[in-house]
Structure 1
């Protein structure tokens, strides 16, 4: 009887243990199956990463500026290949690297070795050739590298990415958090020795593409502007040059250019001073006479001058605080209206305007126009410029500031200020990014015009526009005149400063133009640093460049011929111009047969011309040179 009870107890215990075991198995195999599977796979998991798809950079019309192209990278699992030296011997000739260095890397004891930099970002053709060898343990990961369909276009604005795909300069750096993506991954499952597990299928882990950045830039306008800068660099043997094109009614930047440029795909070959300096926002210098627009606008706003009914006598200099401040015209301009003071860019006339304004009002207007602080454009590397401190702003400093000397400003500050002077008096923040487009194709962030403040009245702005149009028709900006388009503008010639002293014979010449002058849609600014081979005046060098740019980009900006243009009269000494012929594809003998009267300078020793500067159709002066380049 006792034995039966013991047997029954053992049986019950057995049943309970069996039930517990079945329950545990059920819990592990059914309820906790996925969790346990993931934990196990994490121990077996070996990932081959795919490079992240970085967002594109496009212009305002959606035209590609920076994209991506396939660039595979090789990975090697030493445990799956007993002969790494033999594998290296097959791979090295294809990717053109040192076989011994590659073999050393492939002999590492890691479970997986990324063969970088030797086999990072190889071509698809190389990857296909290597794949056909079927080398055990060798895997191809998908990587991407930046592609530039327009070559060097916008290089100093867009910047570049580094070895790891992170933005290092320009737009790539400033908007890196939006452009960055996370890459896909192939998940392979192996044992501790790196041998594939036959009973577990490989897995795929999806990444997230980066967002695209839509710029306010118009790439067609940018091409025209960069071409003109390239021609100017060649013609005047300049050290550098810059340009800005902006919509004065919104602050949208249509073009931002610096020369010389560089190849962003091979930025390592460029001088860091080039790719680290976006000249329109980084460079600071004395503005020269383009700054006189601010003095003019402030004087008109305060009703201190009458452009047409008040005269000023310029003997060639004026005395301020015991200092003799000269006009650029040594003998002076004599008696003239204040409109002629503006047309002639007469320094003593602007000194008088500054005197009437007084220290406090002149300083206040300068700061109201945005000088002395960042424009907050969102462009990396923007400088603030330098103004006189209040305790150092004496009578002489007040006088020189009135005509643009002794202070330091950035080109983008000048464009922002002139835009406010001509658009009705409203100071708009310049901006370069229009919107951020997410991977789903929808805008995750948009940027709109932002007005900071009103600086002058519409009535004053209208007088400024009228004066600037007169400068181009009758004054120092005559070389910017464009038939059919009402262009206004102001010249600038600034002597460069080094170690606190002005450099003899070294200037930055500039011109800032508006079009149409009666209702501006464009502000165009050009500055050429240290030009040679010519008289160093903004009206001689920079004005015609601005005129050509406005003439060519006007249709792209929706500007057509206007009525009411001030007629330009020919004056003795005005340059004789002609249209550049198309010489591309011609040989030297064929060019000679055309008996052209202009000077032609040949570069290269090929048979046919494959490039010319200026390009055909450009208007150039009789004494200018056409540079032709053979293949």
Structure 2
């Protein structure tokens, strides 16, 4: 069938219109990509081309309450390789191996990995400044010496269990180094460059430096002088008594601030690998549980006075040297007993039978409520990891004997931090404070105080 010229022209016209519409749509799309999305796509392209050489932020310093620095950083360079930029891997490995204390084979294996950046480990991490300069002087293509930091503890093992230590990448592992790792570590920076798909440096491109943001400085509640004294005394006691372990806590009873805390055996944070992990993982003042004995009588006495169950000057008690409770004989430390005495003398003489009488006057419900109110049986919440709860009798299990032994500190298990916190509440006006070691945070550059820990009252346990 013959098609008329008019039909052909009409079809060509509509084809032309369709092509014009397609061209207009393409132009609009191109304009949108170039103008509307241009900056975003350019940034994505640059991001895909950019390679980063990390620069570590300086970890915040840790000081005592008087400004004595207990932990700070030493600049320690680290060697990195950009494999695609290395022109002669065998010669590069041969030149680096003796400087890094590594074999040529291990260096060669590292620098030929299919990665954008490789750390030369272990020999290339945290090297000396002199060795870093020697490597820079070699001017080896693809080998970069970046800045890193190493933690230094100038007073050796002083306050080790409070400070803790950092690992190979300056990450906190124990103590306040771990507890406050995110605040101390800061944000790392980098030097970045543009590379092609093969990882080679793009001609004419410039490096981009992102400055690292240093961590905050931490001021502790501890006093270096007090800490030094208690550690000296612990060392002497360990030597004199040939003890397996020893510990001390010094606390401000009016605030809960820890002024000193130490345990033996101790360790040096900078050489923690040389010690048994049980030594640095167990902070005895907050981890160890023990039977408090006569020091626990302070709690029974405080409860009896608060409940008006005793008149220390006018009430009397006769101590024959023992007391029979529920078929058990509980003895006084003094053979033959103290005889007739006031309850003030019961306290002065630390007389077990006299405290059994106070416990009986209180009854198990009242005595154990005071014990819990003083913080026993639960964690104090001190800002250190590894705290234990201690162990108390469950109230249904408390019979006459359990009540009697608890009243003079036997049959219960407490932690040293619980004991010092409770005794502080007994003598500071009845206020139970939460113990803490982190006093304040400051900006490393400006010295401005970012935050400060205020004393936290848990509860009023007894009246003043």
Question: Does the alignment reach a TM-score above 0.5?
Answer: yes
Q: Give 1:178's aligned residue.
A: 183
Tell me, in whole angstroms, the C-alpha distance in 1 between the residues paired with 2:149 and 2:119. Answer: 15
1:395 to 1:80, Cα distance in 2 relative to 1, 3 A: same
* Candidates 227, 236, 251, aligned match of 2:256: 251
Q: Give 2:456's aligned residue.
A: 450
Q: Give 1:94's aligned residue.
A: 99
CA offsets 1:36-80 (integer angstroms, 9 cap, x no match): 553343233121101232222222223212211111111112232
Contact kept in structure 2, 1:156 and 1:274, CA below 8 Å:
no
Tell me, in whole angstroms, the C-alpha distance in 1 between the residues paired with 2:333 and 2:304. Answer: 22
Tell me, in whole angstroms, the C-alpha distance in 2 between the residues paired with 1:307 and 1:125. Answer: 73
Q: Give 1:141's aligned residue.
A: 146
* Candidates 167, 170, 175, aligned match of 2:172: 167
Q: Give 1:237's aligned residue.
A: 242
Q: For residue 441 of structure 1, report the CA deviation from its aligned partner.
A: 3.6
* Candidates 359, 363, 385, aligned match of 1:358: 363
Q: For residue 226 of structure 1, report the CA deviation from its aligned partner.
A: 1.2
Tell me, in whole angstroms, the C-alpha distance in 2 between the residues paired with 1:218 and 1:238. Answer: 26
Tell me, in whole angstroms, the C-alpha distance in 2 between the residues paired with 1:27 and 1:324. Answer: 93
Q: Give 1:611's aligned residue.
A: none
CA RMSD for the aligned pairs?
Answer: 2.5
Q: For residue 35 of structure 1, report the CA deviation from its aligned partner.
A: 4.7
Tell me, in whole angstroms, the C-alpha distance in 2 between the residues paired with 1:456 and 1:111. Answer: 65
* Candidates 129, 145, 156, aligned match of 2:161: 156
- The secondary structure found in structure 2 opposite 1:161 is coil
* Candidates 393, 396, 399, aligned match of 2:398: 393
Tell me, in whole angstroms, the C-alpha distance in 1 between the residues paired with 2:375 and 2:36. Answer: 67
Question: Does 1:270 find its partner at 2:279?
Answer: no
Q: Give 1:419's aligned residue.
A: 424
Tell me, in whole angstroms, the C-alpha distance in 1 between the residues paired with 2:104 and 2:341. Answer: 80
Q: Give 2:382's aligned residue.
A: 377
- The secondary structure found in structure 2 opposite 1:418 is helix
Alignment of 1:455-604 (within 5 A): 455-458=461-464
Alignment of 1:60-71 (within 5 A): 60-71=65-76
CA offsets 1:422-443 (integer angstroms, 9 cap, x no match): 1111112212211233455433
* Candidates 329, 334, 338, aligned match of 2:334: 329
1:352 to 1:41, Cα distance in 2 relative to 1, 3 A: same
TM-score (norm 1): 0.66
Q: For residue 346 of structure 1, report the CA deviation from its aligned partner.
A: 1.5
Contact kept in structure 2, 1:307 and 1:337, CA below 8 Å:
yes
Contact kept in structure 2, 1:250 and 1:428, CA below 8 Å:
yes
Between structure 1 and structure 2, the one with the greater Rg is 2
Tell me, in whole angstroms, the C-alpha distance in 1 between the residues paired with 2:105 and 2:236. Answer: 49
Question: Does 1:433 find its partner at 2:438?
Answer: yes
TM-score (norm 2): 0.88
- Unpaired runs of 5+ residues, structure 2, are 1-22
Contact kept in structure 2, 1:295 and 1:402, CA below 8 Å:
yes
Tell me, in whole angstroms, the C-alpha distance in 2 between the residues paired with 1:276 and 1:287. Answer: 23
Q: For residue 25 of structure 1, report the CA deviation from its aligned partner.
A: 10
Tell me, in whole angstroms, the C-alpha distance in 2 between the residues paired with 1:227 and 1:65. Answer: 17
Q: For residue 420 of structure 1, report the CA deviation from its aligned partner.
A: 1.0
- The worse-fitting range, judged by mean Cα deviation, of 289-298 and 80-89 is 80-89
CA offsets 1:231-290 (integer angstroms, 9 cap, x no match): 111111111111111111111111111111112122222211111111111111111111
- Unpaired runs of 5+ residues, structure 1, are 1-16, 459-631
1:84 to 1:450, Cα distance in 2 relative to 1, 3 A: same
